[in-house]
Structure 1
Amino acid sequence: MTGCTGYKSVHYTDIDSSSRLKKHEGENADHLLYTWYSGADWKKYTSVIIDPVQIYQGKDNEFNEIGQSDRQELATYMQVHFKKALTLQFNEITTPVANTLRIKLTLTGAATTPQFIGTLTKFDLAGGPYNIVQSIRGKEGMLSGSVNYVVEVFDATDGQLLMAYIARQYPNAMDISSSIGALSAAETGIDKGAKELAELLKH
């Protein structure tokens, strides 16, 4: 079980907002790792510009065994699903006007789910009880894949940084569907992250 505990968060020094980010100690600190908030009033924003998802090239990236094609696949998936979540409450535009947010997303790392073994640990005597407890606590399961990324939110008209955070997302520890397919857990994490950002920006 030691393989699924003791994750040490990375600060990603090549991210523009890195110097402002502080370790998050409050609610959701298990997946919101570093945060910075300006106290902006999200209610005044009605439109959004979503930049193309960037793939982090810094030496402190966390892609490990994830190849370039899989990184691009995850970046494309991230673009689609963050857009889907955000355009439920904002009008997507391409040219800045008043009351517009600009969202910059950077994919910084991911971990695959070991095939067969990742599914087996949901049920066997070694992983089953552990994963049940982790599921109840909302924590990461044994041998589960994950995704790491940075969100930076700007006022599109003046470029002022309004919010930034580093996140690490993963499926529920007993989510069997996310253990089928090497990237499925990371994709589930992206889905969760998209919904979380939309909630943070909720009017």
Structure 2
Amino acid sequence: MHQCFFSVTLLFAALLINSGCARTLQARYVETTGFQDDYTQLHEGEDGQALLCFWQEEADWKSYKKIILAPVTVVKTPDSGLNELTHAELFRLKELLDYRLRDALKKNYILVRKPGADVIRVEFALTEAQTSSVLLDTFSTFYPSARVLSGLKRLLTGTESYVGSASIESKITDSTTGALLMAAVDRRAGGKNLTGSDNSWDDVEQAFIFWAQQLSYDLCRKQGREQCQAPES
């Protein structure tokens, strides 16, 4: 009995240390929405990848120098939290994700509007977004027993209590042939960090920042570039 309790305590302590000051954490499950043409190509992602992903390894990634970034779309499921948002809120979220993507991708690519042999098309769909509960999130960060319960929830479900979360689906295609080069489905939620905790949308924005940096990092590595900068969580 004591040994079992000790093991659980160590596991929970390791979880707290690992999550530490992380502002965004990957969830364990994400719901697909029909954004992708064929989900059978996607597989469970490894560490550092989306929950579901596909990369065309045979593609000549080094030949692509430019990106068409399509306008961010919103794809809702019947029980999505997006259904509760106003048109203005949805527009703001789309614009924010678009801004973060452009800011990250322009470092290694030229952003263009017309297709070409050296151009890839990047598409993102926002499929879920939920705000944090500011007071309860702060309370469960500070108060020891509430922090323990939040940590246990993360052990069971992959997400902390009262935090915000977001889900996306994305794909990359050759701009001229339409061939699928990458597809991903992912969900992230906020960590127990006081930075930005007074903003109910901060967890969603941190997820946007992470996805933009992750895509930039992945493309950097696919092209064999040096000093590719991994995203910060």
Q: Show CA shifts across 1:98-156 (max 9, x none).
A: 21110011000011100211122111113335668999xxx643221111111110111
User: Equivalent residue for 2:193?
Assistant: 175
* SS, match of residue 196 in structure 2: helix
Give the counterpart of 2:37 among 5, 17, 34.
17
> Are residues 1:54 and 2:73 paired?
yes
Rg: which structure is higher?
2
User: Equivalent residue for 1:63?
Assistant: 82
Alignment of 1:21-32 (within 5 A): 21-28=41-48, 32=50
Q: Name the TM-score, length of structure 2 as normaliser.
A: 0.72
Give, in whole Å, the separation in 2 of the partners of 1:16 and 1:132.
33
* Larger deviation, residues 17-26 vs 147-156: 17-26
Q: Name the TM-score, length of structure 1 as normaliser.
A: 0.82
Give, in whole Å, the separation in 1 of the partners of 2:63 and 2:192.
39
* SS, match of residue 11 in structure 1: coil
Please say if residues 151 and 164 of structure 1, whose CA atoms lie closer than 8 Å, have aligned partners that are also in contact.
yes
| 1:62–1:41 distance in 2 versus 1, CA, 3 Å | farther
Provide the identity percentage.
20
Please say if residues 17 and 164 of structure 1, whose CA atoms lie closer than 8 Å, have aligned partners that are also in contact.
no
Give, in whole Å, the separation in 1 of the partners of 2:118 and 2:54.
21
Q: Show CA shifts across 1:34-76 (max 9, x none).
A: 2122212322211000000001144364536444332221111
User: Equivalent residue for 1:166?
Assistant: 185
**Structure 2: unaligned runs, 5 residues or longer:** 1-26, 224-233
**Structure 1: unaligned runs, 5 residues or longer:** 1-5
Q: Show CA shifts across 1:68-109 (max 9, x none).
A: 332221111000011110111100111112211100110000
Number of matched pairs = 191
> Are residues 1:194 and 2:212 paired?
yes
Q: What is the identity, as a one-letter code, of the residue corresponding to 1:16?
A: Q
Please say if residues 173 and 182 of structure 2, whose CA atoms lie closer than 8 Å, have aligned partners that are also in contact.
yes
Please say if residues 36 and 183 of structure 2, whose CA atoms lie closer than 8 Å, have aligned partners that are also in contact.
no
* Aligned alpha-carbon RMSD (Å): 2.6
Greater helix share, structure number: 2
